[in-house]
A and B are shown apart, each in its own frame.
Chain A
């Protein structure tokens, strides 16, 4: 079936049209960011791109730094493709698509060096913050990747370190005020190739007709940071 849809997409792109009337390099509207979406997270945000909605929340733990980087804290990105957000998502352990998404978001944050991991260290070799970023799609209408990366960045901007008691344990009763220092703001953009055409912000049907996909993380100064290429042979 997707061969037919794909042919249809290509035919339309030749005439300069997409299914929803957009141009090839046009994002859906509106793109919105809602900071502090859930109060139980130390930082959170909801991002919408058109009908796609993604929630990102950050929790933190205190752990021992890795022996090879005793002065640094750590970060982890997790993504769960919730079956509530798309009829094709199945319940169960994370599939390869959600793992890939989490790793691409992780790389954008890590490789842009927007977090100074040294600032997450509490006691060299003994105690450091672990920042855990969790991504949960609410409605998958395509291009979860760009929405997730934006949600992760927004949640980091919303993040406040929790307070610690005398024993160094996290106090959950009151919220902290100290922000995490972000040295830059990486934004990810995914371009897909269908036939000979390049388009951004694909909707579900376009996503299924993909020949190749490339995600780049960019900074304000437009430095290319990461490439992730996936080719799908039809």
Chain B
């Protein structure tokens, strides 16, 4: 029979409702939130500032340090125990790798740019929301960037290719599911993050990435609009 109609009624290439705002945390150098459906990420940027412990300093360049954390009440299931998990450490690392290609921190030797991502509410796609928010926060902090980074998940639910899988689709039991988070530099189209859980054919993967590219352009427009909105003359 196949997966003919998406559980929440969206079109295959339709993302959940998106909301983005920049400058939401006053104490940070740069900040933003990005909300997609019931997934909500805040990001705050501090730095460039001196990196401690000192032995981690690099006299050649500044470094980017990302931290991804789910708030204890952010899961739609049981409470998330505070403190880093193996999962959050991995996501912190891939977030760093997804964002560092757009940054040039060589002007800031021995320094660190800290990006803290906190999620008050999650329902699938949280690493992508985190990366998208973090890119906006970095731009808001005035860090030199050659492009923004936008991220979204695409994937396969049974025989269909869909964008921005929600929890019910990730957990779909009527057929095979593949969940593919993609982060991209929207101007150049270069991919900075590509992960996948599940099985997919080569052709379907290409189709999915094409769909991701289109969705990421859309997200990029929202990012740019949110950044401009902060400096709107009232």
Interface residues of A (CB under 8 A from B): 37-42, 44, 51, 53, 55, 57-59, 61, 78, 80, 82-87, 91, 93-94, 132, 134, 136, 138-141, 172
Contact = CB atoms under 8 A, between A and B. Distances in A.
Contacts of B153: none
Contacts of B82: 78, 80, 94, 134
Contact of B38 (A40, A41, A83, A138): A40
B191 interface: no
A59 B82 CA distance: 13
Given A57-B71, A84-B116, 13 more contacts: A37-B120, A40-B75, A40-B76, A40-B121, A41-B74, A55-B120, A83-B67, A84-B117, A85-B25, A85-B44, A93-B83, A138-B118, A140-B27
B184 to A, nearest CB: 25
A220 to B, nearest CB: 28
9 contacts: A40-B74, A40-B123, A44-B73, A55-B120, A78-B82, A83-B46, A87-B49, A94-B82, A139-B25
B121 A38 contact: yes
B26 interface: yes
Nearest to A79: B82
Contact of B120 (A58, A93, A94, A136): A136
A39 to B, nearest CB: 6
B79 interface: yes
A155 to B, nearest CB: 9
A40 B27 contact: no
Contact of B73 (A85, A87, A134, A139): A134
Nearest to A41: B73
A58 B38 CA distance: 17
A181 to B, nearest CB: 21
Contacts of A94: 82
A53 B31 CA distance: 14
Given A38-B121, A82-B118, A61 B74 contact: no
A84 B71 CA distance: 12
B116 A57 contact: no
B34 interface: no
Interface of B: 25-28, 31, 38, 40, 42-44, 46, 49, 67, 69, 71-79, 82-83, 114, 116-118, 120-123
B67 A59 contact: no
B28 A84 contact: yes
A84 B123 contact: no
Closest 8 CB pairs of A and B: A57-B73, A84-B116, A59-B79, A41-B73, A134-B72, A84-B44, A38-B121, A38-B120
Contacts of A39: 38, 121
B120 A61 contact: no
A172 B73 contact: no
Contacts of B72: 57, 59, 78, 80, 132, 134, 136
Nearest to B168: A173
B25 A138 contact: yes
B27 A55 contact: no
Nearest to B75: A40
A85 B120 contact: no
Looking at A38, A82, A84, the one whose CB has the most chain B CB atoms below 10 A away is: A84
Contacts of B46: 83, 87
B134 to A, nearest CB: 11
Looking at A37, A82, A140, the one whose CB has the most chain B CB atoms below 10 A away is: A82
Contacts of B42: 84, 138
B32 to A, nearest CB: 11
Contacts of B28: 84, 87
A55 B71 contact: yes
A140 B76 CA distance: 27
A187 B121 CA distance: 26
B149 to A, nearest CB: 19
Contacts of B75: 40
Given A59-B78, A59-B79, A61-B79, A91 B67 contact: yes
Contacts of A83: 46, 67, 114, 116
A58 B73 contact: yes
A139 B116 contact: no
Contacts of A80: 72, 82
Looking at A38, A40, A85, A139, the one whose CB has the most chain B CB atoms below 10 A away is: A40
A172 B118 contact: no
